Structure 1
């Protein structure tokens, strides 16, 4: 029986213990996502995907595709990826540009760019800017910036495709990531020639690149150019790019000044703004400022995400501020999030070393209630606390 036949007749029992109850398409995908998160066996990953009969039509299905391809690539199971996607490409209902463009992106995600290019050149006809943009994005995902440049320069002419704003934004992002941010100006010039106006994404990508290369004069030039020539003004996402970039460069005080400027100008930050600053000050060792921002964030009604909590617990433990770390960890676990094993082990051992064994055991109890699969590890750690 062919792979395609197996796909069509594959029992959905792999997705549900009660095989007598038919699953809807959405239920299949949700079940597949749940199974894929913990599955490591490449063949079983492929079986789960086949049983779910995934298509690129729904956002949930695309998430499942992406997760499966990431896991297969991490396991170096590239033949399985090729066979799986080739099999899908042979399905009559998926012989369209929409699916093939998605397949191109998945090849890029797996760093199989030669297959992505062949899919574009051999399988898609007629080709449009949609599939061109998918190929550029695949090259970006594979971090093959030379291919991004080659495709951008050659393919529109070869295949008579007119680039659009997404084309240019992807190319600018590639220049920004590859340390070639000054090339952004040539892209802007081509956009002018083709009467395509930059947007906020263009601005954000350019700023990201110039900050990354610490070309602060160019940051000012881009901001001025966008506002005066194109009438594109900074959005909240722009401020967040600038704040995150400054924090990565260990210039968190400057990033905080940007936040204060936003507030003075009645521009509302969001939880991402605060999370970037908290991480930045933690990295620079200024935990008092990080804690102050954390309190201010909650007071203003912005909800920290899991990563924000994890960052604080990690750095507070590392600095020996165990009571503060415990307080943040309790709040975090109360929301259903638990920092990684190493961080929590450091917290537990730190509490025990500070003669707070009962507090340490209470933390272990809460973790075991949420993650039973790590119970043996925590039992061993807990037994060591009693000695």
Structure 2
């Protein structure tokens, strides 16, 4: 097995490719001031029918006859003690501190992509009389739900926002549309687009169309892309470089290289959407992911001739492509070239190298790379641990799979669907079906919805053991999950009809 050393100072000959320089409540409650006047210093004259037994009180007039009917007298009650005011102020400070703490907790859950806990905290905030809904909070939660594969909950939150008195905006609608796109619910996304077009102040913009176009190209529905381009032209919306890069990537993944070159030629002739380094990264990624190293290097040279300089992500793409093809010398050369040009190695750089060794079960170099990553203070992410788990599983070192899962928990690494699938796959390879089932149950307890890959891993593991009853129950559960998800997406009046 070919291997490499990742010493930062090793002398490795550069490859030819390295020769170049490279987001109000409608009736808010009225707040009552804690400061009140206990008694007025001005009082009316005593009544003439005062009882004779009443003690005579001499009152001193402050104004002349007819000027003002007031006299002064010593108040019969004392003013509110200062300590009571202090107590009220302390309560107010405590309330403010509570608000700040809960708000920070909400922000923390969003950052950690813990959508269920974030919604629970947000519901608690909404129950408070002092809380005022904010567009930014709803935006963050909708985006989080979209990234977490919860588009229907994102739509429910969107409707809650409207009930709370906030007006929808094009940005909020686009975030909701993106949530559907991320779950490949293109029909629902188009429904959001139609709803936007019917609202004068929520018209779709280039970002809306680019988001929907990306969803279409990812699903290889290029006929819909054409209709969206025509609609954009009718609205005088010009595609920008980001939009064109999305289409380029889609054509490349579909193997439509002629169409890809046509789009690229159009970009070169255009003055509005010239190709940029993202265009370069998109093209070389297409060929790199397909393992066509020669075409990747050819296009790299072409973009350099266009005057486009590479960036860190460009080199990461090259490293990833070389690693998948086990071309460790070139992979190492690019890394050394990055050092020479003072381009920092990033988490993605290390992930690509770790993944290369993980694919072939090279635990030794996998560990060495991970140790260097931590030595440099580089923060590992979910992909890092997915690669570690896959690598150790491929090497048959299942005890190290367990230690990696424990380390991920210690470092509070987000556990998403990819992470759980990696652990499930490792359990399947170890033929530990009981542990696989425990991981599967934990996954569902943590509100991480299984996907097709999840069920495929488990069904294949059961099939190897001839456990047809387990396969039957899994298939039934998958069908039930899809049915429940469909019900959630339907309006309540349709469900009750």
The TM-score range, normalised by the shorter chain, is 0.5 to 0.7
Deviation at 1:34, TM superposition (A): 9.0
Larger Rg: 2
Deviation at 1:206, TM superposition (A): 1.5
Deviation at 1:273, TM superposition (A): 0.7
Give the equivalent residue in structure 1 for 2:245: 169
Deviation per residue, 1:298-330 (Å, 9 max, x gap): 455544445434533553355344787687677
CA contact (8 A) 1:287 1:316 kept: yes
Take 2:407 and 2:121, find their aligned partners in 1: how far apart are those partners?
35
Partner SS, residue 114 of structure 2: helix
Give the equivalent residue in structure 1 for 2:392: 316
Give the equivalent residue in structure 1 for 2:471: none
Take 1:302 and 1:275, find their aligned partners in 2: how far apart are those partners?
11
Give the equivalent residue in structure 1 for 2:189: 113
Take 2:270 and 2:196, find their aligned partners in 1: how far apart are those partners?
24
Identify if the C-alpha distance between structure 1 residues 225 and 31 changes in structure 2 by more than 3 Å, giving closer, same or farther.
Answer: closer
Identify if the C-alpha distance between structure 1 residues 176 and 49 changes in structure 2 by more than 3 Å, giving closer, same or farther.
Answer: farther
1:68 aligns with 2:116: no
Q: How is 1:152-231 mapped onto 2 (pairs within 5 angstroms)? A: 152-195=228-271, 196-229=273-306, 231=307
Give the equivalent residue in structure 2 for 1:238: 314
1:290 aligns with 2:363: no
1:30 aligns with 2:110: no
Give the equivalent residue in structure 1 for 2:198: 122
CA contact (8 A) 2:351 2:384 kept: yes
Deviation at 1:223, TM superposition (A): 1.6
Give the equivalent residue in structure 1 for 2:338: 262
CA contact (8 A) 1:239 1:258 kept: yes
| Structure 2 portions without partners, runs of 5+ | 1-23, 30-93, 431-444, 447-497
Deviation at 1:236, TM superposition (A): 0.5
Give the equivalent residue in structure 2 for 1:57: 136
Identify if the C-alpha distance between structure 1 residues 330 and 47 changes in structure 2 by more than 3 Å, giving closer, same or farther.
Answer: closer
Deviation at 1:277, TM superposition (A): 0.8
Deviation at 1:20, TM superposition (A): 11
CA contact (8 A) 1:175 1:209 kept: no
Deviation at 1:160, TM superposition (A): 1.2
Deviation at 1:281, TM superposition (A): 0.9
Residues paired across the two proteins, number: 330
Partner SS, residue 163 of structure 1: coil
CA contact (8 A) 1:173 1:205 kept: yes
Take 1:221 and 1:301, find their aligned partners in 2: how far apart are those partners?
35
CA contact (8 A) 1:96 1:124 kept: no
Deviation at 1:269, TM superposition (A): 2.0
CA contact (8 A) 2:277 2:309 kept: yes
Q: How is 1:367-378 mapped onto 2 (pairs within 5 angstroms)? A: none
Identify if the C-alpha distance between structure 1 residues 235 and 72 changes in structure 2 by more than 3 Å, giving closer, same or farther.
Answer: closer
Deviation at 1:235, TM superposition (A): 0.4
CA contact (8 A) 1:101 1:131 kept: yes
CA contact (8 A) 1:200 1:232 kept: yes
CA contact (8 A) 2:133 2:164 kept: no
Give the equivalent residue in structure 2 for 1:274: 350
Give the equivalent residue in structure 1 for 2:174: 101
Deviation per residue, 1:45-87 (Å, 9 max, x gap): 99679769875536xx54421333466748xxx4x65555456
Deviation per residue, 1:149-173 (Å, 9 max, x gap): 2245312322111222222222223
Give the equivalent residue in structure 2 for 1:363: none
Partner SS, residue 259 of structure 1: helix
CA-atom RMSD in angstroms: 4.8
Deviation at 1:279, TM superposition (A): 1.6
| Structure 1 portions without partners, runs of 5+ | 10-17, 351-372, 375-387
Could you say which structure has the greater relative contact order, defined with CA pairs below 8 angstroms and 6 or more residues apart? 2
